[in-house]
A and B are shown apart, each in its own frame.
Chain A
Amino acid sequence: MKAENYIKLDFPSRSSNEAFARTAAAAFAAQLDPTLEELGDIKTAVSEAVTNCIVHAYPDAIGRVHMRLRILPGGMLEILVRDWGKGIEDVEKAMEPLYTTGGEERSGMGFTIMASFMDKLKVRSRPGRGTAVVLRRTIHPRPGRV
């Protein structure tokens, strides 16, 4: 599918970039005229995906995080978040609710929240090579919008 618009961002896996990443995603998504609730969902999903790179992909180092947002035909927002970190042995298991390798500070609900807030969630990962998460959400035009 040909993108109508896109942005690409690269940043180090510092937790102070979590707020920046979700705010940038919301600012880009604004051109689709989303509702406040849709914007909140997008920010939440981006926060989950980016936090996973920071916490799990690079547990003891600072690594590169890449985020690409695209507008696809039909008002579809696509978000790609990828890292070149640790990778996931068993993606299916990692996506189960409550599954976490992160201890007390994590809930194991990140993928569950991404899946429930987005129309589509796809995870590709190779141990030792990294992880790519693709999220898609269609923003339907609202009545009264010009």
Chain B
Amino acid sequence: MNISASFQAGRLTVCLSGELDHHEARRALCELDELLDEYLPRDCALDLSGLSFMDSSGVALIVRLQRRMRELGGRVWVENPARQPRRVIDASGVDRLVPVAMTKL
């Protein structure tokens, strides 16, 4: 699993790639927290287009990101999840908490 981020005009875009499971989750949560502390973004997009696999550890990460962005008073959404992560997002119902945007057609 790999995390990269870009920040522009108040918007933090976090890209996850590879596979996100419990083994990778702690590091992912830490890196995400560091990014939020550093940039204090107004908006945050979680780009999952490069994530080939996630399990419910990814759901926990999305919930945590939503909570932190709510504390910051900002918006958060998931962008372009690949097929398997999309199925996990749908099955968990986390899309009722965080909107999913498909921007690359």
Which chain A residue lies CB-closest to B92?
A109
A14 to chain B, nearest CB (A): 9
A106 and B64 contacting across the interface, CB-CB below 8 Å:
no
| A146 CB–B CB distance under 8 Å | no
Compute how far the CA of A36 lies from the CA of B56 in the bound complex, rounded to whole angstroms.
19
Q: Choose among B23, B59, B64 the residue that contacts A104 (Cβ–Cβ < 8 A).
A: B64
Number of residues from A at the complex interface, CB < 8 A: 28
B23 touches A48 (CB 8 A): no
Inter-chain contact B88/A51, CB cutoff 8 Å = no
A37 contacts the other chain (Cβ, under 8 Å)?
yes
Q: CA separation between A54 and B25, bound complex, in Å? A: 14
Contact, CB under 8 Å: A51 / B59? no
Evaluate contact between B56 and A106: CB separation under 8 angstroms.
yes
Interface string of B81-93 (1 = CB under 8 A from A): 0011001100111
Interface stretch among A4-12, A112-120, A133-141?
A: A112-120
SS class, residues of chain A in contact with chain B: helix
- Indicate if the CB atoms of B56 and A18 lie closer than 8 Å: no
Instruction: Look across to chain A and name the residue whose beta carbon is closest to the beta carbon of B59.
Output: A107
Known contacts A15-B22, A104-B60; is A40 also within 8 Å of B91 by CB? no
On B, residues with C-beta under 8 Å from A are 19, 21-23, 25-26, 29, 53, 55-57, 59-60, 63-64, 83-84, 87-88, 91-94
Q: Return 26 A-B CB contacts under 8 Å, by A number.
A: A18-B22, A19-B21, A19-B23, A37-B87, A40-B53, A41-B87, A43-B84, A44-B55, A44-B84, A44-B87, A47-B22, A47-B53, A48-B56, A51-B57, A97-B93, A104-B29, A105-B60, A107-B57, A107-B94, A108-B56, A109-B59, A109-B91, A110-B55, A110-B56, A113-B88, A113-B91
